[in-house]
Structure 1
């Protein structure tokens, strides 16, 4: 099977990066563009300015669905990430570009309720305790079982792989049948403390503020929009002072749209508020009391 325009495809690498255009990539982006998409090596090679370059739009996880809208002869595909709502950009999902060899056609014979990766980072192996075939698989990835578990290991279908791969049962969770509690979602986000801030990042290697929120809820099957302003529209406003851990803070400068989001980590006491967020200024995920300059731009609290 080959990729076709107008058809859906699946991401075949642990983490694929969605770019503004093929011409926007930089020499430093090479590891993220390879057929194996070595995101760890890519992020470790970025300096603090390159971490916030505007050439990256988002990232996609192994097995994520995209709609292919164009295939270029030079090996690039324009796609719509249908599992990342982005109403202001495209009603179908988040649009952008990625190397076509990081995609594979949908296999219609693979069906079933997926399991979700709960480990922050894991690797898919050729056999139980065997060599790693696909490293760097991150929390929130969904994979279809390929049979019953064996001795604490689960076989899964992996897009682009001819045979099932394996990972420990302990790295997986069943899909949520009930909405997650705010505490459960916050616990996932807290596991990403100190992860590097990367504009457009959506993984345990590098992440941005709205990506942190999207990924934490995605772990439980809740697909929030990808960007902070859309996340505000998709959630329920609260009176300031009524927020609790797991709710969301939104920030905007006077007369401008929402530019930042964080996850509430403590019920407010007096003027003291705390949040977990991917911080552009500090270039990493931190938990902190809101400094004065952040409080000055706080425009609301919302609940998912």
Structure 2
């Protein structure tokens, strides 16, 4: 079935990258454009400058819904990522381009219990412990059960596949019915320590500062906006010194919009001793650290989800 402008589609690969324009794609990006979206090979080939190229806008997880606004004959689709709020760009969601081969029209599957991937990364198999059909399925991906667990393996519905696929039952969890507490979200974010920094990344292969926050909350079914300045607008400001682990620090230069975000990891101490977990542009990885002086100088507030 072809993609139809004006209709929704869903991501059929583990992680699809949302691009600024088809013409912005570089030669090194080939693996990320493939029908299987080979992110490990792609990211391994990026040098430190390519990791922060602004051709990447965001990323979409398996099963994530998009609104198709244009389908080109060269294999590209312009979409709105409706599950990634981005009010300053489009009230419907985050706009960008995706290889059409990584999307599939919405089709009905029998209703199943909602699940979320709780492993850092997993794969979907044709049969229990059988050949891999869909690699690179990451933390926070939402699935629906297709039947009972068999010998430690759970069948799930997967976009683009008529028959159920299988993954270890231990790699899934039920979606919570109540909002998570901040400490739970922080615990998930800490599992991404040392993941490499990739501008626009929202995956356990490579991630940026706001992508880390978005993904950690997404694990619990909470869809925060994609970008740091929008995340500030969607959360509640706190009085200075009232922040607690799991809250958010926001950073901006004088007269500029918010450009960075981190997750508070310790109660503030006398002398402005603050700590946070964040995807660090400078060190090109996710790390936890005491705020250095240059970060403290641009700290504009703490917020709570």
* Alignment TM-score, normalising by the size of structure 1: 0.99
Root mean square deviation of aligned Cα = 0.8
Gaps of 5+ in 1: none
The CA deviation string for residues 254-303 of structure 1, in whole angstroms up to 9 with x for no partner, is: 11110000000000111100000000000000100000000000000000
| Paired position in structure 2 for 1:297 | 298
Shift of residue 240, structure 1, vs aligned partner: 1.5
> Secondary structure of the residue that 1:288 maps to in structure 2?
strand
Query: Given that residues 16 and 32 in structure 1 are in contact (C-alpha distance below 8 angstroms), is that contact kept between their aligned partners in structure 2?
Result: yes
Give runs of aligned pairs for residues 209-248 of structure 1, distance below 5 A. 209-248=209-248
Task: Quote the Cα distance in structure 2 between the aligned partners of 1:198 and 1:222.
Answer: 23
Shift of residue 142, structure 1, vs aligned partner: 0.6
Q: More displaced, 108-117 or 208-217? A: 108-117
> Secondary structure of the residue that 1:96 maps to in structure 2?
strand
Give runs of aligned pairs for residues 277-288 of structure 1, distance below 5 A. 277-288=278-289
The CA deviation string for residues 212-269 of structure 1, in whole angstroms up to 9 with x for no partner, is: 0000000000000000000000000001211000000000001111000000000011
Task: Quote the Cα distance in structure 2 between the aligned partners of 1:285 and 1:196.
Answer: 6
Gaps of 5+ in 2: none
Task: Quote the Cα distance in structure 2 between the aligned partners of 1:111 and 1:65.
Answer: 17
| Paired position in structure 1 for 2:13 | 13
Q: More displaced, 207-216 or 106-115? A: 106-115
Query: Given that residues 112 and 147 in structure 2 are in contact (C-alpha distance below 8 angstroms), is that contact kept between their aligned partners in structure 1?
Result: no
Task: Quote the Cα distance in structure 2 between the aligned partners of 1:85 and 1:262.
Answer: 19
Query: Given that residues 113 and 144 in structure 2 are in contact (C-alpha distance below 8 angstroms), is that contact kept between their aligned partners in structure 1?
Result: yes
Give runs of aligned pairs for residues 1-304 of structure 1, distance below 5 A. 1-270=1-270, 271-304=272-305
Task: Quote the Cα distance in structure 2 between the aligned partners of 1:14 and 1:60.
Answer: 8
> Secondary structure of the residue that 1:196 maps to in structure 2?
coil
Task: Quote the Cα distance in structure 2 between the aligned partners of 1:83 and 1:301.
Answer: 24
Task: Quote the Cα distance in structure 1 between the aligned partners of 2:71 and 2:58.
Answer: 19
> Secondary structure of the residue that 1:44 maps to in structure 2?
helix
Task: Quote the Cα distance in structure 2 between the aligned partners of 1:158 and 1:110.
Answer: 12
> Secondary structure of the residue that 2:183 maps to in structure 1?
helix
Query: Given that residues 110 and 144 in structure 1 are in contact (C-alpha distance below 8 angstroms), is that contact kept between their aligned partners in structure 2?
Result: no
Task: Quote the Cα distance in structure 2 between the aligned partners of 1:110 and 1:247.
Answer: 38
Query: Given that residues 69 and 80 in structure 2 are in contact (C-alpha distance below 8 angstroms), is that contact kept between their aligned partners in structure 1?
Result: yes
Shift of residue 110, structure 1, vs aligned partner: 4.1
Distance 1:81 1:110, change over 3 A: farther
> Secondary structure of the residue that 1:42 maps to in structure 2?
helix
State the aligned residue count. Answer: 304
Task: Quote the Cα distance in structure 1 between the aligned partners of 2:220 and 2:162.
Answer: 28
> Secondary structure of the residue that 1:210 maps to in structure 2?
helix
